[in-house]
A and B are shown apart, each in its own frame.
Chain A
Amino acid sequence: MFLKQYIKDVWGAMKSLATGMKRTGYYFTHHKEIITEQYPDNRDTLVLPERFKGEVVMIHDENNEHACTGCTACELACPNATIKIITKFDVDAETGKKKKAIDTFVYHLELCTMCNLCVEACPTGAIKMAQTFEHSVFDRSQLTKTLNKPGSKIREGVE
């Protein structure tokens, strides 16, 4: 029985190796499927995969409104303190009630590992990963970014 198993092992190994070689042989003979991007040459037509993670951005609509409630879930989710949210209190003009809102959404790109945990943590879908990737600058302080645009406010109905 040992010998039977032994021959079976050898045969199975040869067969699985042949399967692998068939696959790569197919790739070798089909050059049209090439996935290389000729990067600096094709800046205009560059197509990045959908799931590519370049940097964290906040989504603003055409009225300069965002969906960030300042709940700091992203700040807590971040493993290396990339995000710092400074909150303030908006006073409602009609009712006089105070409401928590963000003053500044500080994002340290130089610390970010693009782990996507902040985007996962956000309950309102206010931030997402952008596809930009040419981040080099001469001064490190330029990498500290404020994500909410000046004068932007929270969208109506987002709690």
Chain B
Amino acid sequence: MWSLSNIATSIDQWLNETFNPTLALILEMLIAGVAVIGLFAMLGLILVIMERKVSAWIQIRLGPNRVGPKGMFQSLADTVKLLVKEGMTPGGSDKLLFNVAPFVAMIVAMLLMAPIAFAKDFQLWDLNIGVLYISAVSSISVISILMAGWASNNKYSLLGAMRSGAQIVSYELSAGLAVLAIVVLTGSLRVSDIINSQADGWWIFKGHIPAIISFVIFIIAVTAETNRAPFDMAEAESELTAGFHTEYSGMKFALFFLAEYVNVFIVCALGATLFLGGWMPFHIGTWEAFNHVMDYIPSSIWFFGKTFFLIFLIMWFRWTFPRLRIDQLLNLEWKYLLPISMFNLLLVTLIAILGWHF
């Protein structure tokens, strides 16, 4: 049967037959790097057009409908515009930090791609601390934001960066605790183990109410962590002069923009992996016949279907809820999400120890 892992295996075999093992490994790394960059470009194009269409439909509008069939090439045209725009570096800014910051944001996003399983046996690096790696590396992204705000030599950008940094650092706690709930249930940090443990049902169904609570908390926390509305204090419109990237223009701004969308994809992929079984098809316990029918749908389609469902959910939030004030935002995290997720973790631990999950 056609699958991504078959393609990967045949490429691996061909490279190893043609070149010596060291050269083959280097070539494979290059191919993986190019594939990740290609995936980023595709994600940027698809997610931007998806965001605009979803927002239009939710607000009873039409959305982009001029470039290409039903406006589907609009994001491509936007990319061309951004490419030819001048990338300015303001005088008085810290030139090195200013220019490095967008690349830090992108590199963090690229690093996060490593442990994500896109399909059955199709993963860049199945390291045994995958989930810990993701939560550790994703917290580096705050550095790029602070760097950008600081180097801009602009008080508004600095304030925007501080606000954004406070938000990301606080919401990371709840996101981490929500992730921990599934780690406790699975008993492993390895991404492939977590997915395999869901072969007889996804954790959101198997883990009873605590799993649902931690799923809701996870979605709320990662929405805040990726700086998206209703938590987009960092880049509210004119009233906050657009947060930490006020001074960025052209492609440098586009890199921040792209990093935001790629981060949305990554956290949704993580959420799909942890709670909805990643590439695992929809299985119910020991119903062999039903499970077998579900296996006919390719695993990559399951993965991307779940991920895009979560992305749609986050977009739905964005275009429904009004923006929170900074004090409300911190209240929500410290007074509500964190206590609830701590209590929830206790509950999950109890369930895991007593073996009450299915």
Contacts and interface: CB of A to CB of B under 8 A. Distances in A.
B320 A21 contact: yes
A20 B320 contact: yes
B125 interface: no
A112 to B, nearest CB: 24
A156 interface: no
Interface in B51-110: 54, 57-62
A29 to B, nearest CB: 8
B340 interface: yes
Contacts of A36: 60-62
A25 B317 CA distance: 10
A52 interface: no
A111 to B, nearest CB: 25
A89 interface: no
Interface in A19-49: 20-21, 23-25, 27-28, 31, 33-36, 38
Query: Is the contact region of chain A dominated by helix, strand, or loop, or is it mixed?
Result: helix
A25 B57 CA distance: 9
B57 A31 contact: yes
B336 interface: yes
B304 interface: no
B215 to A, nearest CB: 13
B61 A24 contact: no
Contacts of B58: 24, 27-28
Given A10-B340, A34-B62, A36-B62, A20 B321 contact: yes
9 contacts: A21-B317, A21-B320, A23-B320, A24-B320, A27-B57, A27-B58, A27-B59, A35-B61, A36-B62
Closest 8 CB pairs of A and B: A36-B62, A24-B320, A24-B58, A20-B320, A28-B57, A36-B61, A28-B58, A35-B60
Interface of A: 9-10, 17, 20-21, 23-25, 27-28, 31, 33-36, 38
Nearest to A21: B320
A24 B336 contact: no
Interface of B: 54, 57-62, 316-317, 319-321, 336, 340
A10 B60 contact: no
Given A10-B336, A10-B340, A28-B54, A33 B60 contact: yes
Q: Give the interface centre of B58, B321, B336, B340 by most chain A CB atoms within 10 Å.
A: B58
Contacts of B59: 27
A2 to B, nearest CB: 12
Query: Is the contact region of chain B dominated by helix, strand, or loop, or is it mixed?
Result: helix
A121 B228 CA distance: 46
A82 to B, nearest CB: 27
A27 B336 contact: no
Given A27-B57, A31-B57, A34-B62, 20 more contacts: A17-B320, A20-B320, A21-B320, A23-B320, A24-B58, A24-B316, A24-B319, A25-B316, A27-B58, A27-B59, A27-B60, A28-B54, A28-B57, A33-B60, A34-B60, A35-B61, A36-B60, A36-B61, A36-B62, A38-B62
A106 B145 CA distance: 55
Contacts of B60: 27, 33-36
A34 B57 CA distance: 8
A23 B321 CA distance: 11
B62 A21 contact: no
A31 B61 CA distance: 9
Contacts of B61: 34-36
Nearest to B59: A27
Contact of B321 (A17, A27, A31): A17
Contacts of A34: 60-62
A44 B54 CA distance: 29
A9 B328 CA distance: 14
Contacts of A20: 320-321
A35 B63 CA distance: 11
